[in-house]
Structure 1
Amino acid sequence: MAEHDDGRRLSFPPWAGRNFRLLVGASFITSTGNSGATIAAAFAVIESGGSATDVGLVAAARTLAMVLLLLVGGAVADRLPRQRVMAVANLVNACSQALFAALVLTGHATLWQMAALTAVGGGAVAFFSPASEGLVLSTVDTANAGQAFSVYRLATNAAGIGGAALGGALVAAFGAGWVLVVDAAGFTAAAAMRARIDVSRADRAPRSGGIARELREGWHMVASRSWLWTTVLQFSVVNGMVNAVEAVYGPLVSRERLGGAGPWGLALAAGGVGTACGAVLMMRWRPRRMLVAGALGVLPLALPAAALALALPAWALAAVMFVGGLAIEVFAVNWMLALHQEIPEDLMSRVSAFDWLGSVALTPLAVALAGPAAALFGRTRALWGSSGLIVLLTAAVLLVPDIRRVERVPRPPDAAPVRAPAADGPVGGPAL
């Protein structure tokens, strides 16, 4: 429990212990800083005289580094304590953002320097993300996984609301450099918090096999489950389209038609409000066919590109971003629950690494080509193309039989962790 100065005591749910609170607190801090830093990085390139292609190249550098290192990061996270992997990754991010800030504030930032520092941050994420997928469930009991995932995402998304709005305002008022300073400080604080998490009882036993063998085990787990690999393929394109819109087209349209960084920051904040509302919804709603519900939550991601193509006013764009944020949270929570229900804990980080790798593999290319595509086809057509691809791919995934077969399996609080069925066995519940 925590205590206020007036003597009242602030109660936490019984399942939300010290480790879970440290994990959520660290994520809140880094999400706040990162939401503003995403805007700051784009406008740092623009303010240095960069073009749309330059903005895309800097954004792509981060994702490219992440793609190259994700599989190694997943194997490492299944070998070492996940909280320590995350803490070291946070420190690397803190150093890269601090140097980025120093270059911007002194006026010495060049395109290759910004791209290189962004790539360092992406490399750190390649180790952080697979570790984080497996750590949430290590801090709570299995029966409360749904609530824990929802609270965890509610905290991080709520941080994104304030971070995006504050970041846009700070960029407009003081420039991009100071937002990057705040992000570096946040990563440092988060690393200290994550280093204090103690989940030694959940650590995996030492492994005698090599990393290549362990990665083959993770790949076999992914390839044997059609619900998993089809969704990953879907998101390889969906994430590329969403990132091209948010990293390149959104800031440019905002500068030309909406008034600069402030309105775009508010639009991103509205998306954060939507995700927070989606997390609250998922704390109470437990759909039986969780992958069907999740897939339907992907469709509204097509709306922001359409809104920018139609040049809707700032308030309408914010409303669209809100809907998209709420819907994608439905997907995110159901996807996390499906992974933890169907995948063994000792394979979770490796499977998550393949999940992340497939989901972001095309993002560097999509972001890097966003500027040239707009120049070749026109920005409006490029935006409509992004929106259409998201709709078509999501409709295709909904036709996959195993998406409809995976069902939620209720478990009592003292139940043992669920293990996935054999690689050649059926997926999820009975055929529907």
Structure 2
Amino acid sequence: MNATAALRHPRRPDWAGRNYTLLTTAAVATGLGGSGALIAAAFAVLDAGGDSGDVGLVAASRTLPLVVFLLVSGALADRVPRHRVMVAANALSCVSQAAFAVLVLAGEPRLWQMMLLAALGGTGHAFFGPAAEGMLMSTVSGEQAGRAFAVFRMAMQGASLGGAALGGALVAVVGPGWVLAVDAAMFAVAGALRSFLDVSHIPPRVPGGGMLADLRDGWREFIGRPWLWSIVVAFSVANAVVGAADGVYGPLVARDSLGGAGPWGLALAAFGAGTVGGALLMTRWKPRRLLLAGMLCIFPLALPSAALAVPVPVGVLCVVMFVAGATVEVFGVSWMTALHQEIPEEKLSRIAAYDWLGSIALMPVAAAAAGPAESAFGRTTALWGCAALVVLVTAGALCVPEVRNLRRRTGSPAHGEPEAADRSTDPERSVGRLG
């Protein structure tokens, strides 16, 4: 191929194949819609006359189906073609968000209606997550897997950055209903793209002993790895309190002290910009001790809650959110690389389900308790408590030796297989919350 042709048809990296491109494009679409929709849902409740408790109930309704359905969805995604599960889940999310948009645009939405539609969207997310993570990890191959994950996350977080900024502005200008409608359209686009995924590279599943047997097999894989379950336990607390701080207290602080939805959307966009920066860093940096580096970068996740507790000016809050986003993304890429390296391909979705379940199990409780906690202790004290809990559970996970000592392997064999002395030339086998 001559130079002119090469410029017209630039060669993609080996790890960026057709499936990877489709997955990344679809993630960008849902990232653009989803970030704005989270802001829109909170302000839809407030505009309807709700308070912090009502915002928390809608957030809890979105999260509760994850707790109920995640394990089943993980086992299902390891038994049937994952892209079919993803497309069906996107269709459900599209319908629920479209109905939510119509409800808000029609005026006077009732709390129970918003809770029901949020629960339907959460159900779609529950079935989508484990299938999507397994699909991404089984798509990427080679020693550049960490870079592939970083680029994927950078694209996804960049979309979330734009979605948060645009969503906050649109909520302030045209209201939350139209932002929810855009999110529904993005789910439709993403589902269409994911319907073209090719799963022929995934080995046929050997018939097992049924769904319960698959769940037990996944549990044994999960509980047998101390680095895995200890970090999931830590994040069950950290994600819950950060979710309550950002999803419930953040919009209230923004309304009372920062100027409303626009500044809060800007702060969330700063977090998104930080995640893009962190992912960009991880395209170059390959920490040898994956999880040690990642968990050390979780400590700054306590800073946004502390900043909201003060509260600091919008400019300072944006800086804090940027730092937290950058550091948490270092963990995100390191975590995906560790799972890719250690977990067998045929168990990826089940492990993802146990991971997600542990990570979000306490989120409905924290979201529902946010309002009563504010009434009992005050918003400032509740936010300081959120920051303190993030620090404590992160330090606890770092006390586990396997977390500190798990090392990146190069030229390793397939997921989770022991490395043989005569396989030094074998490439690393390849293998996606948020929030």
Instruction: Give the shorter-chain TM-score range.
Output: over 0.9
How many equivalent residue pairs?
414
Question: What is aligned with 1:37?
Answer: 37
Find the aligned partners of 1:212 and 1:142 in 2 and give their Cα distance: 33
Question: What is aligned with 1:114?
Answer: 114
Question: What is aligned with 1:396?
Answer: 396
Shift of 1:416: 4.3
After TM superposition, list the pairs within 5 Å mapping 1:300-315 onto structure 2.
300-315=300-315
For structure 2, the 5+ residue unaligned runs are: 1-6, 420-435
After TM superposition, list the pairs within 5 Å mapping 1:250-329 onto structure 2.
250-329=250-329
Which SS does the other structure have where 2:145 is aligned?
A: helix
Question: What is aligned with 1:26?
Answer: 26
Return the match for 2:414 from 414, 417, 423: 417
Find the aligned partners of 1:185 and 1:108 in 2 and give their Cα distance: 23
Shift of 1:113: 0.7
After TM superposition, list the pairs within 5 Å mapping 1:153-192 onto structure 2.
153-192=153-192
Asked whether the 8 Å contact 2:208–2:214 carries over to 1, the reply is no
Find the aligned partners of 1:18 and 1:416 in 2 and give their Cα distance: 24
Question: What is aligned with 1:217?
Answer: 217
Find the aligned partners of 2:43 and 2:353 in 1 and give their Cα distance: 30
1:148 aligns with 2:148: yes
Question: What is aligned with 1:4?
Answer: none
Find the aligned partners of 1:306 and 1:205 in 2 and give their Cα distance: 48
Question: What is aligned with 1:104?
Answer: 104
Q: TM-score, normalised by structure 2?
A: 0.93
Q: TM-score, normalised by structure 1?
A: 0.94
Asked whether the 8 Å contact 2:15–2:145 carries over to 1, the reply is no
1:380 aligns with 2:380: yes
Please tell me the residue identity of whatever aligns with 1:225: R
Which SS does the other structure have where 2:198 is aligned?
A: coil
Find the aligned partners of 1:244 and 1:101 in 2 and give their Cα distance: 23
Asked whether the 8 Å contact 2:292–2:405 carries over to 1, the reply is no
Q: Deviations over 1:6-54 (max 9, x none)?
A: x844543233111111110000000110000000000000000001000
1:127 aligns with 2:147: no
Question: What is aligned with 1:353?
Answer: 353
Find the aligned partners of 1:34 and 1:180 in 2 and give their Cα distance: 8
Find the aligned partners of 1:207 and 1:201 in 2 and give their Cα distance: 18
Shift of 1:299: 0.6
Find the aligned partners of 1:254 and 1:48 in 2 and give their Cα distance: 17
Asked whether the 8 Å contact 1:138–1:199 carries over to 2, the reply is no
Question: What is aligned with 1:3?
Answer: none
Which SS does the other structure have where 1:136 is aligned?
A: helix
Please tell me the residue identity of whatever aligns with 2:414: P
Find the aligned partners of 1:373 and 1:190 in 2 and give their Cα distance: 38
Shift of 1:148: 1.1
Find the aligned partners of 1:14 and 1:362 in 2 and give their Cα distance: 40
Q: Deviations over 1:106-162 (max 9, x none)?
A: 014210111111111111111111111111132232322111101110000000111
Asked whether the 8 Å contact 1:142–1:417 carries over to 2, the reply is no
| Percent identity over paired residues | 56
Find the aligned partners of 2:40 and 2:391 in 1 and give their Cα distance: 30
Find the aligned partners of 1:352 and 1:26 in 2 and give their Cα distance: 19
Question: What is aligned with 2:226?
Answer: 226
